[in-house]
Amino acid sequence: MINGYNVFQQLCKEEFKKRYPDEQVPGELTRKCTDRWKTMSEREKRWFNHVADTEKKKAIINSSPVAENKSRARKQKRPKDPNAPKRALSGFFWFSNEERGKVKAANPDFGVGEVAKELGKRWGECDEAFKQKYEEMAERDRARYDKEKLAYQLKQREDLIGTEDFDEDME
């Protein structure tokens, strides 16, 4: 909980850092702050207590639900269902799966990123006739994915409807 003394002590530390930026704040500074606080007039202490109250109000306002909604909180990712069908691969990924072993064999010192760059460079240098083979593989994979996804979604609906019927039977 912040109070007037905390505000005074923080101000003393900041002042010390301004005057002596290259030095660490000494431990005796706290003792000197305490001694000064004890001899301070009530009028001076009132000012520090007022600043502390203002800081408390700011903290309360910033922690209110309204303020939290304004901040950009990340949405939590929905966990992936392990039974969901695997996404379709693009032509480049089919090409990469075949060529990755060759690139690694030719350049054993390459890391993952360097292998990926080399695969991208090779894919860019391929002519359209060569790429067509991999694009056809991607189309077949896309058709497979669409079919599996539809079946998966139908099963999800059946499971959902089945649990709703079960709940109605229980009543």
Considering its fold, how many domains does the chain have in total?
2
Range of the domain at 55: 4-66
Q: Are residues 47 and 103 in the same domain?
A: no
Looking at residue 137, its pLDDT comes to 95
Q: Cβ atoms within 10 A of the Cβ of 134, count?
A: 21
The SS3 assignment for 22 reads coil
Length of the chain: 171
Separation of alpha carbons 49 and 47, rounded Å: 5
Separation of alpha carbons 51 and 49, rounded Å: 5
Looking at residue 67, its pLDDT comes to 47
Q: Are residues 60 and 8 in the same domain?
A: yes
Q: Are 2 and 57 in contact (CB under 8 A)?
A: no
Domain containing residue 102: CATH number: 1.10.30.10
Residue keyed to tokens 């009543």: 171
Q: Are residues 62 and 96 in the same domain?
A: no
Q: Which pLDDT tens digits describe the chain residue by residue (171 residues)?
A: 688 888 888 888 888 888 888 888 788 888 888 888 899 888 888 888 888 888 888 777 777 665 455 567 788 888 888 889 999 999 999 999 999 999 999 999 999 999 999 999 999 999 999 999 999 999 999 999 999 999 998 988 887 777 655 545 444
Q: Are 154 and 100 in contact (CB under 8 A)?
A: no
Looking at residue 70, its pLDDT comes to 57
Q: Are residues 59 and 10 in the same domain?
A: yes
Looking at residue 121, its pLDDT comes to 94
Model confidence, pTM: 0.49
Q: Are residues 36 and 98 in the same domain?
A: no
Q: Are residues 102 and 62 in the same domain?
A: no
